[in-house]
Amino acid sequence: MLCLGIESSCDETALALVKDGKLIDQVLATQIDKHALFGGVVPELASREHYRFMGALYTELMQRNNLTINDIDLIGVARGPGLLGCLLVGLGFAKSLALAGNKNIIGINHLQAHLLAAGLETQLKFPSLGLLVSGGHTHIYNMKSAKEMPILGHTLDDAVGEACDKFAKMLNLPYPGGALIDKMGQSLVSQGTEINTKLFTRPYIKNDNIDFSFSGLKTAAQTYLKANPHLIENGLQVKLNGIESASDELKAVCASYLYCIASTLSLKMERAIIKYKDNGFKSIIVAGGVAANSFVRSELKILADKYKLELILPALRLCTDNAAMVAYNAYLLGKDGYHHDLRLNAIPRGQIIPDDYLQN
């Protein structure tokens, strides 16, 4: 079964081909540089860029693999959550292809696709405890199957990626700064310097739930940086001259901030393991852009080892937005006969994605 995946939910335009669960090829155009000028994704600009890139990327992918639409069995397209205008570009393109080629189409939940992406490299086992950490979402899932994933916990305000990017922004670093503050923090840890784990207090843990709130941590970081303006100035030097100009003090603050986030995620995941122990989770699956973060990866490894659970982390290139995960999710659902028709709708962020698959 050959599946074409189309991803355009935020600021990456991507297409990929997955055959019988194996990635064949993928193409991706990122808009990060364009949005960096504005300090965040500008939805209208993002939609226009998707519209500009989509057709050319499709042609490149298909020509490179000597394929035409006739060779495709199922077209998978990210239907949400995401920026509505952006999603509509992907859906419009997918529907045109489906109509022109008389092909089946399936709308893919972008968040579930992130969680399943690791299946391209390793055998996923269900049920698993899923942690999705991206720029827009921080969710804990009971991954019962590739199709059924009830949410067990979520953020009440900022997503983890947002907390990272806003911290980076306070330091004058370019958007999205998550990966850069990770690099700075990690460069200190890899020298063997101990992290100051007391600099920031883990937010929203004095309760017994498995939800998150990162807005307080952001304010604490803002207060700290205001009291230490030389760190903000150093951040500007890093922006202009690169990471080599970061002081050890700035690297240490980045490490403390990221450790605080990672250990908060780990603490809530541990609560979920204990609260839902009767589910018999077989592994912990971490996904989304922030799954690339080295502090998150190492804290969750410690947790997984403690409970003798397998830790599944997608390769870094599968953590951020891509179409391989969309094509793979389409394959997982398509092989069980699921699909949509041309009534398929885009679902913007904040709305529940309906379970409205049709089945052969």
Name the site residues for ligand KG4 (rule: CB under 6 A).
10, 134-136, 161, 164-165, 176, 178-179, 182, 288-290, 292-293, 320-321
CA nearest to 273, candidates 303, 237, 250 = 303
Identify what 165 binds: ligand KG4, Zn ion, none; CB under 5 to 8 Å per kind. Answer: ligand KG4
What would the 3-class secondary structure string for 192-213 be? CCCCCCCCCCCCCCCCCCCCEC
Smallest separation (angstroms) from ligand KG4 to the CB of 2: 25
Instruction: Give min distance, CB of 169 to ligand KG4, in A.
Output: 10
- Partner whose binding site includes residue 292, from Zn ion, ligand KG4, none (CB under 5 to 8 Å by kind): ligand KG4
**Phi and psi (nearest 5°) for 136?**
-115, -10
> Which residue number, 328 or 338, has a Cβ lying nearer to ligand KG4?
328
Nearer to ligand KG4, 54 or 254 (CB): 254
- Shortest distance, position 104 Cβ to ligand KG4, whole Å: 26
Q: Can you list the alpha helix ranges (DSSP code H) found in the chain?
A: 32-36, 43-64, 84-101, 110-116, 160-170, 178-189, 215-227, 229-241, 248-275, 294-306, 316-319, 324-334
Closest CA to 14 of 68, 42, 53: 53
Q: Which is nearer to ligand KG4, 85 or 288 (CB)?
A: 288
**Among Zn ion, ligand KG4, none, partner that 62 touches (CB below 5 to 8 angstroms by kind):** none
State in angstroms the smallest separation of the CB of 147 from Zn ion.
19
Contact residues for 51 (Cβ-Cβ < 8 A; gap 6+): 89
Distance CA 13, CA 33 (A): 14
Q: Are 325 and 53 in contact (CB under 8 A)?
A: no
Nearer to Zn ion, 83 or 97 (CB): 83
Residue 291 near which of Zn ion, ligand KG4, none (CB within 5-8 Å, type-dependent) = none
Distance CA 124, CA 140 (A): 17
Residues 6+ apart with CB under 8 A from 234: 171, 245, 246, 247, 249, 250
Smallest separation (angstroms) from ligand KG4 to the CB of 53: 17
Choose among ligand KG4, Zn ion, none what residue 164 binds, the Cβ cut-off being 5 to 8 Å by kind.
ligand KG4
Which of residues 255 and 318 has its CB atom nearest to Zn ion in the complex? 318
Residue 31 or residue 134: which is nearer to Zn ion going by CB?
134
From CA 179, how far away is CA 165, in angstroms rounded? Answer: 9
- Is the CB of 142 or the CB of 320 nearer to ligand KG4? 320
Residue closest to ligand KG4 when measured from CB atoms: 289
Tokens of 13: 């335009």
The least distance separating ligand KG4 from the CB of residue 24, rounded to whole angstroms, comes to: 22
- Residue 161: contacted member of ligand KG4, Zn ion, none (CB under 5 to 8 Å, by partner type): ligand KG4
Decide whether 47 or 134 has the Cβ nearer to Zn ion. Answer: 134
Query: Smallest gap, in angstroms, from Cβ of residue 76 to ligand KG4?
Result: 17
The Cα 77–Cα 330 span in angstroms is: 8
Coil/strand/helix, residue 22: strand
Q: Is 350 left (phi over 0), alpha (psi -120 to 50) or beta?
A: left
Q: State the binding partner of 320 from ligand KG4, Zn ion, none, CB within 5 to 8 A by kind.
A: ligand KG4
Residues at the interface with Zn ion (CB under 5 A): 134, 321
* Residue-level length of the chain: 360
Give the residues across from 130 on adjacent strands.
141, 285
The option from Zn ion, ligand KG4, none interacting with 178 (CB < 5 to 8 A, set by class) reads ligand KG4
Q: How far is the CB of 285 from ligand KG4 (least distance, A)?
A: 14
Q: Which does 322 bind (CB under 5 to 8 A by kind): Zn ion, ligand KG4, none?
A: none
The 3-state DSSP class for residue 311 equals strand
The least distance separating ligand KG4 from the CB of residue 178, rounded to whole angstroms, comes to: 2
Site of tokens 């398509």? 334
* Choice between 104 and 320, CB closer to ligand KG4: 320
